[in-house]
Amino acid sequence: MQKWIRWQGLGVFVGVVALPCIFWFLFIDGIVKGVIQKYGSEAVGAKVELRSADLSLFPAGLELKGLKIANPDEPMKNAVEIARTNLNFDTLNFFRRKVIVEQMTLDGIRLNTPRKTSGALPGATPKKRATKKGTIRPGKKKGLCGGKGLPALKMPNVTEVLSKEKLPSLELVTSLKGQIEQEKQKWQQRLASLPDEKTFQSYKGEIQKIRGGGAGIAGMLASGGKAMELKKKIEADLNRIKQANADFQKETSTLKQKLADAKKAPFKDAARLAQKYGFSKERLANMSQVLFGAKICTWMEKATNWYEKIRPILERAKQKKKGKVVVKPLRGKGAFVKFKEHNPMPDFLIKKANASIITGAGDIMGIIKNITPDQDVLALPLTFSFKGDKLKNINLVEAKGALNHTRPQAPKDEIRFLVKGFKTKGISLLEKSKNPIILQKALADLNIKALVQGQDIKVNVLAAFHSASFSVKDQEGKNPIMEAIFSALKNISNFIVNAKVIGTLEEYDIKLSSDLDGVLKKSAGKIIAKQTEQLRQKLSKAIMDKVNGPLSDTAGSLSGLNGIQQELSKRLNLGSGLLGNLGKPGGKKGLKLPFS
């Protein structure tokens, strides 16, 4: 036995085991600090800095001081700064490799604080939003955010409008002229194919011959037969001319109608263009979209961005192998296969976090419960509740919500945000316009309800403003429409704006309505109607100037068809006269031909 056992080895073993423990107590805090900074920075895409970390095992806990997380999109700002973070772990679960935080305290949270040095990581670019299915792509927004642009608040220049637009009236006149010329040619060819004066002269000669025909009964019978034959020929020719005349009448009547339409066309063009370029009443009816749309769109984009940043905390990638859940491994580190637990607990859970956010207006206190990426294991949603009252410029701010991912295939997140008595100051509306309208001051009450189910989003924003006053920066000199809108806004002190966002996180539509719309429509409507009518008249005149020349030419061409009409009438008269003469007695023998 003694040959195989070396008892002094036991002492060495104790030394070997003690060494890492000593190392732990001496260096673990520095290691934790380094790990948080390294992996935090990698995850955020910007610098994560920590002043100190203190890890203890009995009782298990961690205290972080001076945590600063830089904003990857604005490196000279910290997205979040937390003065002190204290976590108490469940020791037993900690040894089972489960981080279960019973209580977490976040003291002195500050958002968007300035940095002295850049928080950008060397060589790193701001993180783009993922493009795979189920995640956000950069702003493809319908409606307000789709870049429809603000309507022009001044009447456009007529010359500019006409240089941009094609005029159907001018095209109509030009094509009509071509059509008339074609008709002219066609009728000249048809006239040539019809019996003319020569033809009728030859018939006249034949009649003379028949009248001077043979004497006696036999002679008279022969003349009668010839006369009948000639009569039929003349009647057939006359019918051809009559048919041509009827066709001609019909076609000229159509052309005259088209000419009449062409004369009206410039006015139609003017009305259409005035509607398109003018500031119509209908557009005034959507003034709330124009005034608040861009702002709400920007807020929505920021909100969806933050939501996408938070969402991975609630869900993590898992795959199943033969029905077992396998958490994705790091390369070369293997994979962890999970089995059913008697008392299932997530790998990471913060049961309760108390947070105090320091804002310029005052402190906002809140509680967040059940922070875990494994809500399906915990079977409880993340809930949060923040409240701040009697703040500077805000009477009450409250945010409550539940992010429910307990069924990962059907996540449902609900957030409610309430603000009461918010004293707004200098909110610039129509920022992209040359005449920005400024909501100088107002007392606002906001009620926002947001629901995200999978990729579908539904948000309802109800904002009620009291004691409002507007001003306008008139950079373009006097503008009657702008003045009309502004004079209407001057008399408004209370108004409500309602925004409804419906769609998916990738593509949503914002619909805005407000009682401002009706007021603005009523107050500025008359001026707008007058302005639009002036524009229409100017456009009519300008279009007529362009169309008048070609129109006169076209009318002249149509008059040119009168010659054809005269020729047809002449031939009809000749034929009819000849047929009439055949019925009368003539010649020396006074023979009356049997035509009449």
State which residue, 58 or 339, has the beta carbon closest to other proteins.
339
Examine residue 166 and tell whether it contacts other proteins (CB under 8 A). no
> Count of residues binding other proteins (CB under 8 A)?
31
Question: Nearer to other proteins by C-beta: 12 or 215?
Answer: 12
Please name the residue that has the structure tokens 């905390």.
Answer: 313
Region from 11-19, 194-202, 276-284, 478-486 binding other proteins, contact rule CB under 8 A: 11-19
Residue with smaller CB distance to other proteins, 198 or 321: 321
Reading the block at residue 214, the tokens are: 């043979």
- Under a CB-based contact definition with an 8 Å cutoff, are residues 365 and 393 in contact? no
Q: Which of 269/347 has CB closer to other proteins?
A: 347
Backbone angles phi, psi at 400, to 5 degrees: -135, 150
Cα 543 to its chain centre, rounded Å, is 33
Q: What is the H or E stretch that residue 425 is in? A: strand 412-429
Tell which positions 275-304 bind other proteins, by CB under 8 A: none
User: In angstroms, what is the minimal distance from the CB of 41 to other proteins?
Assistant: 24
Spatial separation of the C-alpha atoms in residues 523 and 506, rounded to whole Å: 38
SS3 label, residue 236: helix
Interface residue with other proteins among 76, 221, 337, 367 (CB under 8 A) is 337
Taking the C-alpha atoms of residue 162 and residue 169, their distance in angstroms, rounded to an integer, is: 12
User: Is residue 192 part of the contact set for other proteins (CB under 8 A)?
Assistant: no
Please provide the size of the chain in residues: 596
Contacts of 151 (CB under 8 A, 6+ apart): 279, 283, 290
Residue (59 or 360) nearer to other proteins, CB: 59
3-state SS class at 98: coil
Is the Cβ of residue 329 or residue 560 nearer to other proteins in the bound state? 329
* Minimum CB–partner distance for residue 97 and other proteins (Å): 6
Minimum distance from CB of 317 to other proteins (Å)? 17
Looking at this protein, which amino acid is placed at residue 27? F
- Torsion sign across C-alpha atoms 174, 178, 180, 181: positive
CB–CB of 342/335 below 8 Å? no
Residue placing its CB nearer to other proteins in the complex, 321 or 392? 321
CB 564 within 8 A of CB 191: yes
Alpha carbon 430 to chain centroid, angstroms: 17
Check binding of 340 to other proteins (CB under 8 A): yes
Closest among 540, 544, 542 to 552, alpha carbons compared: 544
Q: Do the Cβ atoms of 94 and 341 come closer than 8 Å?
A: no
Residues 47-106 touching other proteins, rule: CB under 8 A, are 92, 95-97
Which residue in the set 114, 122, 216, 334 belongs to the binding site for other proteins (CB under 8 A)?
A: 334
With residue 56 as reference, give the H or E element that holds it: strand 52-57
Q: Which is nearer to other proteins, 198 or 331 (CB)?
A: 331
CA angle 402, 128, 42 (to 5 degrees): 80
Among 132, 133, 166, 333, binds other proteins (CB under 8 A): 333
Among 166, 198, 342, 588, binds other proteins (CB under 8 A): 342
- For other proteins, the closer of residues 329 and 360 by Cβ is 329
Sole binder of other proteins in the list 13, 39, 299, 306 (CB under 8 A): 13
Interface stretch with other proteins, choices 320-328, 464-472, 482-490, 500-508 (CB under 8 A):
320-328
Instruction: Report in angstroms how near the CB of residue 398 gets to other proteins at its nearest.
Output: 42
23 versus 299: smaller Cβ distance to other proteins: 23
160 binds other proteins (CB under 8 A): no
Residues in touch with other proteins (CB under 8 A): 3-7, 9-10, 12-13, 16-17, 92, 95-97, 321-322, 324, 326, 329, 332-342
